[in-house]
Amino acid sequence: MDDFEVRFSGSGGQGLILSAKFLSAALVAEGFSVAQSQSYEPVSRGGLSRSDLVVSKGQAAFPLSRGLDYLLILDGAAAQASNDLLGKDSLVMVDSELVPEPPKGAFRVLNLPFAETARKLGNKRVANIVALSALVACSGICKLETLEQIVRGKTPPKFATLNLEAFEAGCALGVQGA
Amino acid sequence: MANRVNLQGNQACALGAIAAGCTFYGGYPITPSSEVAEAMARELPKVGGTFIQMEDEIASMGAVVGASMGGVKAMTATSGPGFSLKQENLGYACGAEIPCVIVNVMRGGPSTGMPTRPAQGDVMQARWGTHGDHPIIVLTPASVSECYTETIRAFDLTEQLRVPVIVLIDEVIGHLVETVDLDDLTPQTTVSRKFADTPVEGFEPYAVTEDMIPPFPRPGDGYRSHTTGLTHMPNGFPTQNPAKAEAALTRTTDKLVLHKDLIEFCQLIECAGADLVIVAIGISARAAEQAVRDLRGQGVNVGLFRPLTLWPFPETTLKAAVQGAKAVLVPEMNQGQMVLEVERLMAGDLPVHALNKIDGEAITPSEIAAKVKEVL
């Protein structure tokens, strides 16, 4: 696949933009060009938040999303916010606990316990990393090793073990969904 | 060697400034431009430069003008509300011909408006924000790599011409992260202003030279110089003598006409033989480029004219680009600003259509394509 679009959506403070940055760096390491945009509200926590990746070989003419191939939803507030950008080939991955009413349509929807898995690891804040590696394991949009290297390289030592545990747990969830 | 990185538009402005030799940043952070200040605070100490956060935008613009009068390449960055405040000292820089670069990352307005949402509502403020007839140059990058290269060009122009240069970006481009290869973008040379090197005796700080650009007296070189916001004679002192006042003002604006070829820069995509030419900047130009590709694929002959130098507007190039076209379309994220200039240039020869959006969302390729089909 040469061109595709990914959206991380949820509420502000969930680490969606960080996940997008990690995936973006991994994709660039694999030779893609990425345009990453984000939208958030003028608050430090809460509010609708999202980050999009428009992935291509060479710079994209229009750097914003036009049709999502992959959509991750980590909060109910964002559940229906991207419906206009979904098509029959889209893959939607939602948190089974925080998104009680996922979008409905001709596309595939996977309900996965990102938040619950993170909680079991001891910190609900790593749900973003669980979801990120689940997405990559399920879709194959980049190599898991590439992403793991990025997560290792960009995580402060204090959170290294936790983030890598979250990464592994997410991979396991994603492989089940694939 | 490839140096591929994911870089944000605002950060690219900062790195471009450093590559251009900027050693002073006077700032007051404001969304959505704050990353420029953040990056400059981190990068300037590495090159021996100075970063200072002032008490407000008025003072930060004053600091930039003062630093430049001290002989260094200086810049600031801001957004709508801050850009309004900077206009007073920006006008001083225009009048006294002090080189400086101002990055303005446009957000929704007026007033505090929508801080995190994009807009292109400062097209006219960038040209006419400060009072009086004044020279100014405005550049409009539409990608992260252009944020880098156009900031470098901004420094080259402001230094060469002694005219303040605005780098006008919208929030989408300022906050957009794109993959760029910095090795491809960094220039081999950058330009500095022409410093005075004539005998100190009889030196005139605003001497009328053939290129209309007075050599700049470097502080410490011994030149007697007087700088003022008042209309001044070649010796730098104020005048209200009608002939001298007119000559002084005319030189500063004629200077841009004389150096038009150096200043003007546009991109033309598929304009030859186009039935309709779209004129757009920033994120709207990126949407237009995609619309051109999509429409061409459907057999619709449409082209894009993108003025990277927005002001002075590339008049003759646009007129040539629309030869043979039946209509012009100007999509912009305001209620119609750049379209006024395009209408003026078309002077009734061609119908000029507007596509405007002020809801805090970017104009999309499909909205442009729909409008093109509607008017053709």
Look at residue B84 in the predicted model and tell me its pLDDT.
98
Look at residue B1 in the predicted model and tell me its pLDDT.
46
Residue B177 touches partner A, C-beta closer than 8 Å: yes
Q: Mean per-residue pLDDT for B177-184?
A: 92
Residue A173 touches partner B, C-beta closer than 8 Å: no
Using CB atoms, pick whichever of A37, A40, A59 lies closest to residue B172.
A37
| Proportion of chain B above pLDDT 70, given as a percent | 100
**C-alpha span between A129 and A20 (Å, rounded):** 10
Q: Mean per-residue pLDDT for A167-175?
A: 96
Look at residue A41 in the predicted model and tell me its pLDDT.
79
Look at residue B59 in the predicted model and tell me its pLDDT.
98
> What is the three-class DSSP state of B344?
helix
Q: Mean per-residue pLDDT for B60-85?
A: 98
- pLDDT, one tens digit per residue, over B197-236 is 999 999 999 999 999 999 999 999 999 999 999 999 999 9
Class of domain B267-375: alpha beta
- The segment(s) of chain B belonging to CATH 3.40.50.920 are 267-375
If we measure between CA atoms, which residue out of A14, A4, A6 comes closest to residue A99? A14
Please determine, for residue A63, whether its predicted confidence score (pLDDT) is greater than 50: yes
Residue A23 touches partner B, C-beta closer than 8 Å: no
Contact at CB, A36 and B116, closer than 8 angstroms: no
Q: Mean per-residue pLDDT for A132-154?
A: 97
Dihedral of the alpha carbons of B74, B79, B82, B84, in degrees to the nearest 10: 100
Q: Which residues contact B121 (CB under 8 A, 6 or more apart)?
A: B80, B106, B108, B109, B110, B333, B334, B337, B358
Instruction: Report chain B residues whose CB lies below 8 A from the CB of A32.
Output: 179
Please determine, for residue B319, whether its predicted confidence score (pLDDT) is greater than 60: yes
Helix B9-19 crosses helix B34-43 at what angle (to 10 degrees)? Answer: 40
In this structure, of A43-52, B36-45, B56-65, B132-141, the range with the lowest mean pLDDT score is A43-52
Q: Residue B208: how many CB atoms within 10 A of its CB?
A: 11
Look at residue B291 in the predicted model and tell me its pLDDT.
98
Using CB atoms, pick whichever of A28, A41, A66 lies closest to residue B179.
A28
Q: Which CATH number fits domain A4-177: 3.40.920.10, 3.20.20.100, 1.10.760.10, 3.40.50.970?
A: 3.40.920.10
Look at residue B184 in the predicted model and tell me its pLDDT.
87
- The segment(s) of chain B belonging to CATH 3.40.50.970 are 4-185
Average pLDDT, chain B: 97
Look at residue A1 in the predicted model and tell me its pLDDT.
67
ipTM over 0.85: yes
Class of domain B4-185: alpha beta
Q: Mean per-residue pLDDT for B320-334?
A: 98
Look at residue B365 in the predicted model and tell me its pLDDT.
98
Domain ranges of chain A: 4-177
Please determine, for residue A43, whether its predicted confidence score (pLDDT) is greater than 80: no
| Proportion of chain A above pLDDT 70, given as a percent | 99
Q: Mean per-residue pLDDT for B80-93?
A: 98
Beta strands at B177-181 and A33-39: parallel, antiparallel or unpaired: antiparallel
Residue A53 touches partner B, C-beta closer than 8 Å: no
Helix or strand holding residue A6 (H, E): strand A4-11
Contact at CB, A37 and B176, closer than 8 angstroms: yes
Please determine, for residue A172, whether its predicted confidence score (pLDDT) is greater than 80: yes
Q: Which residues contact B160 (CB under 8 A, 6 or more apart)?
A: B191, B193, B194, B213, B259, B262
Q: What are phi and psi of B217, to 5 degrees?
A: -75, 120
**Min CA distance, B265 vs chain A (Å)?**
19
Please determine, for residue A178, whether its predicted confidence score (pLDDT) is greater than 80: no
